[in-house]
Amino acid sequence: MRQIKYLIVGGGIAGTTASQSIRQNDTDGSIAIISNEPHYLYSRTLLSKPVFFLDKIPAENIFIKKEDWYIQNKIDILKSVSAVDLNTEKQIVRLSNNDEIQYEKLLIAIGSDPVNLNIEGCNLSGIFYVRTLDDIQKIKAVVKTAKSVICVGGGLVGFEMCDVLAKLKIPTSIIFREPYFFGNILDAKAGAILESGLIKNNIQIINNSQIQKFTGINAVAGVITSHNQNIQGDLIIVGIGSQPQFSFINSKILNINKGIVVNEYLETNIPNVWAAGDCAENYHPVLNEHTQLGNWSNSQIQGRVVGQNMVGKKQPMLYISAYITTGLGVNLAFLGSIKPSDSKREIVKISSNAYIKLIVDDQRVLGAVLINNPQNISMVLKAIENKHMLTEEEVKL
Ligand SMILES: Cc1cc2nc3c(=O)[nH]c(=O)nc-3n(C[C@H](O)[C@H](O)[C@H](O)COP(=O)(O)OP(=O)(O)OC[C@H]3O[C@@H](n4cnc5c(N)ncnc54)[C@H](O)[C@@H]3O)c2cc1C
């Protein structure tokens, strides 16, 4: 059986950055990455951005690492193969090709997969999810001939896909179950600012609605909503959330909540096993809570920190996350902890097209949502990092 000193499951930004950080600190130890995708590391964030989706840059610019980087750094990447079983006692991972690898130290960095809509008609062609380069390539191959598109879900995927579809001038509807856009995070006034971006771009908003079934014979022709509305669409893009796939892990042994529970050093409850990136639910000493995010820079920094810890250092993960995106003429930033809880309160400021929500406890700012208010991003991030409070006067709309 093959033996590897540092085995990494998942070749995304967390796993790849960890491999780089390990190599910087251990020049000889063997490193292998198991990746169920057929590609070297690419920018997942660019997939839904106009610059890539609308072919404004050469397609190969999506790749962050090329083959020679792995060779030069003596990092063995096994592509198009999955980890299917983990034996933490014998320290062995079994792969989908039946090979087994014994590890000294294991990192789980498997990201998170889209939640599927398993309802009538879900196997019709023309229904897509957005996570991988292959997903987006399939959408790009059909989008220009689509007569009308339906986006399902009022979150980031829906927001960014509506932005590119509006730029392509394809008639688009967006359906979500909340009363307003981003209804699981924002309030009605903030939702209205985002929705004004959708309306200006002629996107039809269908709120308070779920999809009952997809219609069509072989290919999708539309959806029937929970209010029995029949909406036409020959291309459907679903973005209703994501969830890591833990099927290869025995959850009775490894502590799993929504993500793999790790401490501030990204260590799991099992010796020699770490987790990082979107699949990890890490204790954050600055925010004093467990957080699990879907955030590129957070995953990258976790990769750097966990790589150092796997070679024997003891670095806590202290980074305050920032998810900043722009689309439909709206700038949107989620900073720090935006999880609601009884011990937190909110300070909200709003104008006709800008919005600030600070999430605070008695002493300090823990998180914030800023819409069309980029000038405050760095000040708010510093306040969260330094455990400071901000007054209403300090944050200007
Ligand atoms: C379309 C889109 C746009 C985004 N835009 C932004 C943005 O603007 N800003 C931002 O901060 N974040 C954005 N994100 C989120 C960001 O991309 C993620 O937070 C980040 O990629 C997570 O990195 P990761 O390494 O933890 O996981 P991933 O990038 O998901 O990598 C995990 C890898 O592990 C593989 N894997 C899973 N299970 C197994 C297994 N059993 N065996 C082998 N391999 C396995 C997966 O296929 C994947 O290749 C976006 C995400 C998407 C999908």
Residue 323 lies in a domain: no
Q: Each residue of 353-390: pLDDT tens digit? A: 999 999 999 899 999 999 999 999 999 999 999 999 99
What is the average pLDDT across 292-315?
A: 96
Report the C-alpha gap between 95 and 164 in whole angstroms. Answer: 37
Radius of gyration of the chain (CA): 22
Tell me, what's the pLDDT at 125? 97
CB of 374 shorter than 6 A to ligand 1: no
Residue 318 lies in a domain: no
What CATH number has the domain bearing residue 356? 3.30.390.30
Eight-class DSSP state of 119: S
Query: Which residue's C-alpha comes closest to atom 7 of ligand 1?
Result: 45
**What percent of the chain has a predicted confidence (pLDDT) above 90?**
92
Looking at the structure, tell me whether residues 280 and 306 fall in a common domain. yes
CB of 16 shorter than 6 A to ligand 1: no
SS (H, E, C) 83-116: EEEEECCCCEEEECCCCEEEEEEEEECCCCEECC
Q: How many Å lie between the centroid of ligand 1 and the Cα of residue 321?
A: 15
Q: Each residue of 50-66: pLDDT tens digit? A: 999 999 999 999 999 99
Q: How many Å lie between the centroid of ligand 1 and the Cα of residue 395?
A: 33
What is the average pLDDT across 93-108?
A: 98
Report the C-alpha gap between 385 and 387 in whole angstroms. Answer: 6
Residue 395 lies in a domain: no
Looking at the structure, tell me whether residues 24 and 88 fall in a common domain. yes
Q: Residue 246: pLDDT above 80?
A: yes
**The domain boundary residue, chosen from 242, 274, 302:** 242
Looking at the structure, tell me whether residues 174 and 75 fall in a common domain. no
Query: Which residue's C-alpha comes closest to atom 53 of ligand 1?
Result: 131
Which structural domain, as residue segments, surrounds residue 295?
2-46+61-112+245-310
What CATH number has the domain bearing residue 217? 3.50.50.60
| Model confidence band, residue 33 (pLDDT cutoffs 50, 70, 90) | very high
Q: Each residue of 104-152: pLDDT tens digit? A: 999 999 999 999 999 999 999 999 999 999 999 999 999 999 999 999 9
Report the C-alpha gap between 147 and 379 in whole angstroms. Answer: 45
Residue 348 lies in a domain: yes
Tell me, what's the pLDDT at 320? 95
Looking at the structure, tell me whether residues 256 and 288 fall in a common domain. yes
What is the average pLDDT across 166-190?
A: 92
CB of 265 shorter than 6 A to ligand 1: no
CB of 11 shorter than 6 A to ligand 1: yes
| Model confidence band, residue 310 (pLDDT cutoffs 50, 70, 90) | very high
Number of domains in the chain: 3
**The domain boundary residue, chosen from 242, 272, 294:** 242
Report the C-alpha gap between 259 and 293 in whole angstroms. Answer: 9
Looking at the structure, tell me whether residues 80 and 170 fall in a common domain. no
Residue 392 lies in a domain: no
Tell me, what's the pLDDT at 392? 82
Residue whose entry in the numeric block shows the structure tokens 């200006």: 200
Of 42, 49, 165, 278, which is best to mutate to test ligand 1, by the most ligand atoms within 8 angstroms of its C-beta? Answer: 278
pTM for the predicted model, two decimal places: 0.96
| Model confidence band, residue 186 (pLDDT cutoffs 50, 70, 90) | confident
Tell me, what's the pLDDT at 203? 97
Write out the two tokens for 330. Answer: 């709206």
What is the average pLDDT across 36-40?
A: 98
HSE (side-chain half, CA atoms, 13 Å) at 175: 25
Of 45, 161, 302, which is best to mutate to test ligand 1, by the most ligand atoms within 8 angstroms of its C-beta? Answer: 45
Report the C-alpha gap between 190 and 353 in whole angstroms. Answer: 9
Q: Residue 340: pLDDT above 80?
A: no
**The domain boundary residue, chosen from 193, 222, 242:** 242
Residue 394 lies in a domain: no
Of 36, 44, 52, which is best to mutate to test ligand 1, by the most ligand atoms within 8 angstroms of its C-beta? Answer: 44
